[in-house]
């Protein structure tokens, strides 16, 4: 089973972001954790990252066309990208929204997710383990 894991803006810069919020892994280590966890669950993870909204929309279209399950960390796009939300809504396979931090424990503008309403579920606040939990959730949803 192939899954797509989409990471939004600034996630490739984890090594220079606030480790008290985003953890101690750099992006390569996060990608490796995701790939290893997916493999252990019998899945192949296609892990991608972009700072560009249009690229993320294109990837969601690709996943929709291929009927691929998606784990997405839309990062800052979580709070305002209706275009990404509309593309995510096209998915027929499960979609799990993931966040390293807990947006509800942060600034008020982070309390709104335009993605959650079209996601199968949201996992947030467990650092890199949010992805591991999402992989396990996908496995359960897919049977």
Catalytic machinery residues: 22, 99
Q: Is residue 63 within 8 Å of residue 70, measured between CB atoms?
A: yes
Render the burial of 88-126: b for 16+ CB within 10 Å, e for the rest: beebebbbbbbbbbebeeeeeebeebbbeebbbebbbeb
Residue 90 assigned to a binding site: no
Residue 19 assigned to a binding site: no
Residue 65 assigned to a binding site: no
Residue 100 assigned to a binding site: yes
Residue 24 assigned to a binding site: no
Q: Is residue 114 within 8 Å of residue 80, measured between CB atoms?
A: yes
Locate the DSSP E strands across 1-143: 2-7, 44-49, 70-73, 95-99, 121-124
Residue 61 assigned to a binding site: no
**Binding-site annotation, residues:** 73, 79, 86, 100-101, 110
Residue numbers in the known binding site for substrate are: 73, 79, 86, 100-101, 110
């Amino acid at each position: 089973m192939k899954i797509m894991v989409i990471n939004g803006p600034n996630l490739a810069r984890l090594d220079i972001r606030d480790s008290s919020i985003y953890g101690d892994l750099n992006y390569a280590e996060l990608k490796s954790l995701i790939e290893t966890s997916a493999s252990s669950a019998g899945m192949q993870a296609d892990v991608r990252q972009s700072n560009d909204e249009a690229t993320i929309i294109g990837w969601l279209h690709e996943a929709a066309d291929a009927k691929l399950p998606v784990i997405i960390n839309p990062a800052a796009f979580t709070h305002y990208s209706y275009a990404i939300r509309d593309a995510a809504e096209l998915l027929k396979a499960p979609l799990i929204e993931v966040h390293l931090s807990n947006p509800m424990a942060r600034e008020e503008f982070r309390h709104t997710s335009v993605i959650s309403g079209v996601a199968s579920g949201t996992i947030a606040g467990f650092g890199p383990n949010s992805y591991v939990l999402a992989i396990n959730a996908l496995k359960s949803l897919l049977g």
